């Protein structure tokens, strides 16, 4: 896994000598990650995805249990069938609510992830050693070769987690690309009063109408611009690492 991550060939000898020394800050990081994974699992369980499963699961498994058994026998080399399966999967990207209460649990998990992320960096910045660091502060060396964590990265990340907390608490609103009249999306409502999760209509806009509000400040776009600038084109990779 490490070899793939750093795009280098790792020998067996190097693998056996690979050591990470976890600190208190890393323990907080791991707690945050457990909340992130738990939140993702609860999100999947909150919605009913049976219809799309039945329609296209044959693309992923050889003998799936589906009411559309004739689809299973379609040749995998049939390009027209492949195209229609793809179109169908896009058409069925709408998931009815199955367990509404679970969505509030998702929100709490996400809030915990952000809180633990802030606490972990506060602890990491206090470290004075430099010993096989999983998450290093700017004065330490990462176990990932040629990867440096700067103070600008940490500051922008912590600021973004604080901004994310305000969004999840409904204190600030998220902008939508088609709205210019000051309204925004109250993310808290998505979790407390969930509706059908329709990916296409949410992208188009009609699906997010129940969550639109006014009278609250929109999120500070400077926070997100600073985050992008601090990490350059590597935000996604660092994001998985930082949680």
Domain shared by 200 and 166, yes or no? yes
Please check whether residue 120 is in contact with residue 32, taking contact to mean a CB–CB distance below 8 angstroms.
yes
Is 79's pLDDT higher than 90?
A: no
How high is the pLDDT of residue 14? 79
Same domain, residue pair 70 and 141: no
Question: Do residues 113 and 224 both lie within one domain?
Answer: yes
Q: Are strands 197-198 and 184-185 parallel, antiparallel or unpaired?
A: unpaired
Q: DSSP character for 145?
A: T
**The overall pTM is greater than 0.85:** yes
Mean pLDDT of 80-103: 95
Q: What is the pLDDT of residues 97-135, one digit of tens each?
A: 999 999 999 999 999 999 999 999 999 999 999 999 999
d(CA 204, CA 202): 5
* pLDDT of res. 146: 80
**pLDDT score, position 92:** 97
Q: For residue 97, report the phi and psi dihedrals to the nearest 5 degrees.
A: -70, 130
If asked whether residues 89 and 104 sit together in one domain, one would say: no
Name which of 18-22, 28-32, 99-103, 137-141 the model is least confident about.
18-22
| Number of domains forming the structure of the chain | 2
The domain of 42 spans: 2-47+99-242
- Asked if residue 54 and residue 43 are part of one domain, the reply reads no
Q: Are residues 75 and 18 in the same domain?
A: no
Mean pLDDT, rounded, for 43-64? 94
Same domain, 42 and 111: yes
Q: Whats the size of the chain, residue-wise?
A: 243
Whether residues 229 and 215 share a domain: the answer is yes
pLDDT exceeds cutoff 70 at 6: no
Considering 95, 123, 158, which residue would you say is the last residue of a domain? 95
Residues 83, 196: one domain?
A: no
Phi-psi region of 132 (alpha: psi -120 to 50; beta: other; left: phi over 0): left
> Is 135 in contact with 242 (CB distance < 8 Å)?
yes
For residues 63 and 107, membership in a common domain is answered with no
The values of phi and psi at residue 33, to 5°, are -70, -35
Question: Does residue 77 have a pLDDT over 80?
Answer: no
131 φ/ψ angles, rounded to the nearest 5 degrees? -135, 95
| 183 and 80 within one domain | no
Q: Out of 69, 95, 121, pick the residue that ends a domain.
A: 95
Query: Any idea which of 67-76, 84-93, 133-142, 161-170 has the lowest mean pLDDT?
Result: 67-76
Residues 107 and 31 in one domain: yes
């Amino acid at each position: 896994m490490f070899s793939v991550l750093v795009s280098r060939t790792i020998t067996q000898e190097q693998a056996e000598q690979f050591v990470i020394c976890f600190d208190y800050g890393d323990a907080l990081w791991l707690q945050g990650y457990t909340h992130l994974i738990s939140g993702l699992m609860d999100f999947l369980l909150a919605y009913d995805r049976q219809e799309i499963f039945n329609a296209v699961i044959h693309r992923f498994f050889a003998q799936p249990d589906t009411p559309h058994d004739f689809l299973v026998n379609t040749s995998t080399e049939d390009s027209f069938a492949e195209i229609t399966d793809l179109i169908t999967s896009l058409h069925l990207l709408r998931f009815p609510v199955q367990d509404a209460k679970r969505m509030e649990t998702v929100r709490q998990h996400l809030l915990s992830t952000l809180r633990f992320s802030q606490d972990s960096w506060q602890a990491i910045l206090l470290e004075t050693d430099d010993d096989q660091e999983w998450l290093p502060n700017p004065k330490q060396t990462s176990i990932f070769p040629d990867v440096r964590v700067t103070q600008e990265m940490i500051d922008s990340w912590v600021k973004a987690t604080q901004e994310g907390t305000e969004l999840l608490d409904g204190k600030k609103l998220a902008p939508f690309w088609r709205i210019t009249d000051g309204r925004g999306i109250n993310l808290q409502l998505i979790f407390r009063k969930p509706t059908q999760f329709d990916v296409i209509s949410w992208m188009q806009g009609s699906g997010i109408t129940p969550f639109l509000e006014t009278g609250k400040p929109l999120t500070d776009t400077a926070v997100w611009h600073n985050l992008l600038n601090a990490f350059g084109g590597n935000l996604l990779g660092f994001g998985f690492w930082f949680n």
